[in-house]
Amino acid sequence: MLLHIPSLFAADELLRIREALAQADWADGKVTAGHQSAKAKHNLQLPEAHPLAKEIGSALIERLWQTPQFMSAALPHKVFPPLINCYREGGNFGFHIDNALRQPKGSAERVRTDLSATLFLSDPDSYDGGELVIQDTYGTQQIKLAAGHMVLYPGTSLHKVNPVTRGERYAAFFWTQSLVREDSQRALLFEMDNAIQQLSADLPDHPSLLQLTGTYHNLLRRWAEV
């Protein structure tokens, strides 16, 4: 399941973020790549402990926890603290699959990367190239979203970032360990939850609502790992 989640940050917030990122001290992006991914990764990244990365990441997680679409689709159990990267002219990241497990710096706890996410921070007109290309069972998708918009997709997907040929592409990225490991099961629960919410809005007294809601929670009880 690939999901577009819009408008997590307002235009004035994004402007302040980009101004701060333009002044930041960047490190080589290979520092957080696995052995194979490092061969294909050519970008810059804020160190995990960088105060600006922590500030942006904390704000993003706070927004996500208040976003019903994310909560319903991801069913989050653990979230790897968001990282911030930058692609400048020539920067790219060849096809790869994200590591199955990630361990935040300074933490003993590991996160299984069931879901990957990219939050675009740059206006798409401010740079050329830089599309996120995702290959999975639903085909190949080229994604270049408006600033403040996020894409959520299975961590099992083969994906890449096309070379940036003009300007700078800033983005936040992170991984989520879901309560439900299987993407097909999460997709089914997401569709059912959407149907329940629509039925609740259109026919709040419909007797099927009780049965549908019960079925949703029984499936979640069967599939959830806590």
Q: Is 123 annotated as a binding residue?
A: no
Q: Are residues 175 and 117 in contact, defined by beta-carbon separation less than 8 angstroms? A: yes
List where CATH 2.60.120.620 sits in the chain.
1-176
The third-level CATH classification (topology) of the domain covering 1-176 is: Jelly Rolls (2.60.120)
Q: Which two tokens stand for residue 85?
A: 């990267």
Residue stretches of the chain with pLDDT short of 50? none
Q: Is 77 annotated as a binding residue?
A: no
> Over the stretch 181-198, which tens digit does the pLDDT of each residue have?
999 999 999 999 999 999
pTM of structure: 0.93
Q: Is 149 annotated as a binding residue?
A: no
List where CATH 4.10.860 sits in the chain.
181-221
How long a stretch of residues is the chain? Answer: 226
Q: Which two tokens stand for residue 187?
A: 């997709």
CA atoms of 222 and 216, how far apart (whole Å) = 10
Q: Is 98 annotated as a binding residue?
A: yes
Is 181-221 CATH 4.10.860? yes
pLDDT of residue 100: 97
